[in-house]
Structure 1
Amino acid sequence: MRERIASQLDSIEKAHELKVLFAVESGSRAWGFPSVDSDYDVRFVYVKRPAWYLSIDEKRDVVEVPINDMLDINGWDLRKALRLFRKSNPPLMEWLTSELVYADNLGFRDELLRLRNRVFSPKASMHHYLSMAKRNFREYLQGDQVKIKKYFYVLRPVLACLWIEKYDTVPPIRFQTLAEDLLPASPLKREVEQLLRRKLAGEEMGLENRLDAINAFVEAELERLLESASVYATTGEDPTPLLDDVFRKFLGAAWKS
């Protein structure tokens, strides 16, 4: 699959006249809970030729490839990525720390990792993960029967919020890291660990009786975190001049030849 992904990225570069700065796995494989038939969610950041940015019109700043078999691949333009980085965009922060890297060129990913603490916003990240957890809890965990996989799409953002509350830093991307640190030894943790083993074994799509202990934990934490999130304020320096320099640096580096 790595060869197929590399070939796809090469085709995208040629077809769209761009250069990929980095490409990583996102989704369940990066989060640490893929099933045996999970697809590949590849996300990348790219840079177009300098002339592309010299226009009076805004242009499409994403590249999306139709989902094919087990491969879902799309990317963001450099300028779009830096604008979102300035806002402490949680999905982009996750891409930067993915352990499954398919392309890493010119040091761009390392540059953003070096700068991420300067742009990280606990407020923006907390609200992002809270919104995700509330929406998924409402949509997936309210019935008497629930699919195993849906628990992780609620538990992971809840644990990300708990990490931000505890450490005031970007949450780790892997679910196991979050759970090991934030869930004390208890029947709840054992139930979550058993659920994870079953998901990794492929038991994720069947409907089962709702796990009331997990529902109760999520409901209580969501209520408490909503209160906790309200105290965060937007602080810090404006990183725009710094990110302008990053934009110019990598635009030049990509096309210096």
Structure 2
Amino acid sequence: MTNMMMTIKEELLRLEKEEHIKIVYACESGSRAWGFPSRDSDYDVRFIYIHPVDWYLSIFEKRDVIERPISDRLDISGWDLRKTLNLFRKSNPPLMEWLGSPIRYLEAHDTAERLRRLSEQAFSPKASIYHYLHMARGNYRTYLQGDSVRIKKYFYVLRPILACEWILKYGAMPPMEFDILVERLVPEDSKLRAIIEELLERKKAGEELDYEPKLAVVNDYIERSLVSLEQSAAQMPPAKTDIDDKLDDLFRSSLREVWM
């Protein structure tokens, strides 16, 4: 176990004691899970937690998020289980990504696995595509305009675009790993694929990838994709799900399993 892994596990245990909670799941959610961290990338730890039963038996609304300031490259925050389940029924893409993260720091009890088994029923292709489109547009507009651009930001536009392409092709939540998206969706013999693989090699080698001349091939692909994906999303029907009873049951059984 690496020193940072031990630090993360110790921090999760400390949070449980300080907040009087039980953490049922914790994972990596950032560039490390995507497969292209920099040498100085933060550890973006996200977790799901549950309070004792009495905490929920109140007439008052209470804070359902726990956050800690970034320190020593550690960015850590989590959601209460009830908040988590309400977001899950809306097919919240960040939450769906957490559940599919390839880097898991903690998984206690069977709450997360039960959510994974329900993911297919909760997943909304239309809502998810709009989420990724919003992310891609924002990053493209902010970082990739002009003749000189922040070259590493191409990953933060390409990944959500490829996530949209995955949803259209497979009708399922895309994997977090950027390598898988590229391998399955970008033609192997294309110039776009060659440029992406070169950027990946440079980033994994630790290059800073700061301001450089824009990559016309990639920009053209991005601009075409944003238009076509918007058109495809607009034509998709909204998802219909009926899992409320199952989520209520999951919430009650998790409370019993963890605290009773």
- Who is 2:221 aligned against? 217
Confirm or deny: 8 A CA contact 1:148 1:204 kept in the other structure: no
Is 1:134–2:129 an aligned residue pair? no
1:71, CA displacement in angstroms?
0.4
In structure 1, C-alpha distance between the alignment counterparts of 2:208 and 2:91, rounded to whole Å: 32
| Alignment of 1:208 onto 2:221 | no
Q: Is the counterpart of residue 248 in structure 1 residue 252 in structure 2?
A: yes
Q: State the secondary structure of the residue aligned to 2:235.
A: coil
For residue 195 of structure 1, the aligned residue among 199, 202, 208 is 199
**Matches of 2:84 and 2:206, distance apart in 1:** 34
1:109 has 2:108 as partner: no
After TM superposition, give the deviation of residue 205 of structure 1 in Å.
4.3
User: Is the CA contact 1:141–1:150 (under 8 Å) kept in the aligned structure 2?
Assistant: yes
- Deviation digits for residues 77-97 of structure 1 (CA, Å, limit 9, x no counterpart): 000000010011100111111
Amino acid at match of 2:45: V
CA offset at residue 237 of structure 1? 2.9
Match of 2:48 in 1: 45
49-58 or 232-241, larger mean C-alpha shift = 232-241
Cα distance in 1, alignment partners of residues 112 and 258 from structure 2: 14
How many angstroms apart in 1 are the aligned matches of 2:216 and 2:238?
36
Q: Are residue 73 (structure 1) and residue 76 (structure 2) matched?
A: yes
- The question of whether the paired residues in 2 share the 8 Å contact of 1:33 and 1:199 is answered with yes
- Please tell me the residue identity of whatever aligns with 1:51: D
- Structure-2 separation of matches of 1:27 and 1:218: 22
Write the deviation string for residues 129-167 of structure 1: whole angstroms up to 9, x where unpaired. 011111111111002112222000000000000000101
SS at match of 2:27: strand
What are structure 1's unaligned runs of at least 5 residues? Answer: none
Percent identity, aligned pairs only? 54
Partner deviation per Cα, 1:194-229 (whole Å, 9 max, x = no partner)? 011111112234210001100000000000000000
Q: Distance in 1 between matches of 2:203 and 2:168?
A: 28
Q: Which runs of 5+ in 2 are unaligned?
A: none
Q: Which residue, 17, 30, 33 being the options, matches 2:33?
A: 30
Say which SS state the counterpart of residue 34 (structure 1) adopts. coil
Contact 1:43–1:95 (CA<8 Å) still a contact in 2? yes
Please tell me whether residue 163 in structure 1 is matched to residue 166 in structure 2: yes
TM-score of the superposed pair, with normalisation by structure 1:
0.98
Q: Is 1:43–1:73's contact at 8 Å kept on the other side of the alignment?
A: yes
Contact 2:152 2:210 in 1 (8 A): no
Maintained 8 Å contact 1:133/1:155: yes
Inter-partner Cα distance in structure 1 for 2:41 and 2:212: 20
The count of aligned residue pairs is 256
* TM-score, normalization by structure 2: 0.97
Structure 1 residue ranges (4+ consecutive) displaced by more than 6 angstroms after TM superposition: none
Superposition deviation, residue 18 in structure 1: 0.2
Distance 1:250 1:55 in 2: 19
